[in-house]
Structure 1
Amino acid sequence: MSQDSPRELLAQITLSDDDERPSKSQLKREMHALQALGEAIIAMTPGERARFPLSDDMLAAVEETARIRSHEGRRRHMQYVGKLMRRENLEAIQAVFDEVEHEARRRDLAFHRLEAWRDRLIEEGDAAVEAFVADHPDVDRQTLRQLIRNAQREREKGKPPASARKLFKLIRDTAGL
C-alpha cells in the first residue's frame, strides 16, 4: 500500500454525480484508497479510533484484524475492510481526520516553541531565564539555572545532551504540555 495521508486517500475517492460510469481503473483506484484508509484507521490506537463515526460492522472488522496472523488472510481481510469502507460516512471521517491533523499541528508548534525556549535558555543564560520566569513564574529557578549550566557544559565538552533533555522536560512540565 502507498503511504498517502488520509486526506490524499479521501481525495482519490470521487463520488461523481454525472451519468457517466467511472472507468475500471478509477474503480480500482478508489477501492485501493478505501482499503488504505481502512488500514490507516486500523493502525490507530483504540482511543483515536473511538473518535471516528464507524459502523458496528466496521468496528468488528477492525477488532478482527488483530487476530489474523497469516499474510494471505490479512490481505483478504483488508479487502473486506475496503468493501466496508464504501458504506461509511466519508465526509464525517474526513472531518475527524482534519481535526486530528489540526491537533497534531498545534502540538508540534507548541513543542517547537518549547525547543526554542530550551535553545534560547542554553545560549543566552540569565537574560533568557528572566524572560522565561516572567512568562512562567511558578518554575523552580534554582533547578532551571542548574540545568542550563549543566547543558552549557555538556555542549562545550561535546557530551550527550542529558541535561538539555531534562531542561526540556522541565520547560514542558512548567508550560503544562
Structure 2
Amino acid sequence: MTQDIPTFSDESSDERPSKSQLKREMHALQALGEQIIAMTPTERARFPLSEDMLAAVEETSRIRSHEGRRRHMQYVGKLMRREDLEAIQAVFDEVEQEKRHRDLAFHRLEKWRDRLIEEGDDAVEAFIEEHPDVDRQALRQLIRNAKNERERGKPPANARKLFRLIRETAGL
C-alpha cells in the first residue's frame, strides 16, 4: 500500500510543468483519494482530512452509475490538492509499518505451528516455555490430530485450530 504522493512543481521556477506532468500528478491524487475511499471508516478516521473531503468520501457510496463515479473521482482528486499531503503520507507510512509488523507476527505464528507439527515434544516444550499459560492438553491434542491429517492427506482443519490456539495464546 506504499503510496508516493506527488510533489507539485515549484511555481516560482522559470519552467512550468508540462501538461502531461500535471495530468500525472492529478491522476496520482485521484488514485490516493480512491485508496482512502476503499478504507474502512476506522482506518479513514486516522487521516487528517478536511470536512469537504470527508463529505466527498461519504458521497461516493451513494453513486451508482459508472460515469457519475468517474466524475466524482475526478472531484475527489481535485479536493486532494487542498489536503495536507505530507500528513496523509505520514499516516500511510504508519499504516504500512503496522501492516508489516502484523505480517511478521503472523509468519512467526505459522512457523510455530509448522514446527510444533513437525518436531513434536521438543517444540512443544519450547512453546510452553515461551507461553506458560497455554492449554497444554488442547495443544498436544491438536498437534496429534494435525499430524494425522497431514499423513492421511486430509484438509488441515486441526492445523487451523492449532494456529488459532497459538494466536490466542500469543495474544494476537
Q: Taking structure 2 as the reference length, what is the TM-score of the superposition?
A: 0.97
Equivalent residue in structure 2 for 1:57, among 52, 59, 71: 52
Equivalent residue in structure 2 for 1:75, among 70, 85, 98: 70
After superposing on structure 2, the runs of 4+ consecutive aligned residues of structure 1 that deviate more than 6 Å are: none
Q: Tell me, yes or no, if the aligned pair for 2:48 and 2:84 is still in contact at 8 Å.
A: yes
Q: What is the CA–CA distance in structure 2 between the aligned matches of 1:79 and 1:15, rounded to whole Å? A: 17
Following superposition, the deviation at residue 7 of structure 1 comes to 1.8
Structure 1 residue identity aligned to 2:7: T
Equivalent residue in structure 2 for 1:126, among 121, 125, 129: 121
Give the RMSD, CA atoms, in angstroms: 0.8
Percent of aligned positions with the same letter in both sequences?
A: 84
Q: Tell me, yes or no, if the aligned pair for 2:30 and 2:78 is still in contact at 8 Å.
A: yes
Q: Residues 140-165 of structure 1, C-alpha deviation per residue, up to 9 Å, x if partnerless?
A: 00000000000000000000000000
Equivalent residue number for residue 137 of structure 2: 142
Mapping for residues 27-46 of structure 1, pairs under 5 Å: 27-46=22-41
Equivalent residue number for residue 16 of structure 1: 9
- 2:164 paired with 1:169: yes
Equivalent residue number for residue 100 of structure 1: 95
Equivalent residue number for residue 3 of structure 2: 7
| Equivalenced residues, count | 170
Following superposition, the deviation at residue 6 of structure 1 comes to 4.6
Q: Tell me, yes or no, if the aligned pair for 2:33 and 2:80 is still in contact at 8 Å.
A: yes
Q: What is the CA–CA distance in structure 1 between the aligned matches of 2:81 and 2:67, rounded to whole Å? A: 22
Q: Tell me, yes or no, if the aligned pair for 1:6 and 1:37 is still in contact at 8 Å.
A: no
Following superposition, the deviation at residue 15 of structure 1 comes to 2.3
Q: Taking structure 1 as the reference length, what is the TM-score of the superposition?
A: 0.94
Structure 2 residue identity aligned to 1:92: A
Q: Tell me, yes or no, if the aligned pair for 1:38 and 1:81 is still in contact at 8 Å.
A: yes
SS of the equivalent of 2:74 reads helix
Q: Residues 121-146 of structure 1, C-alpha deviation per residue, up to 9 Å, x if partnerless?
A: 00000110000000000000000000
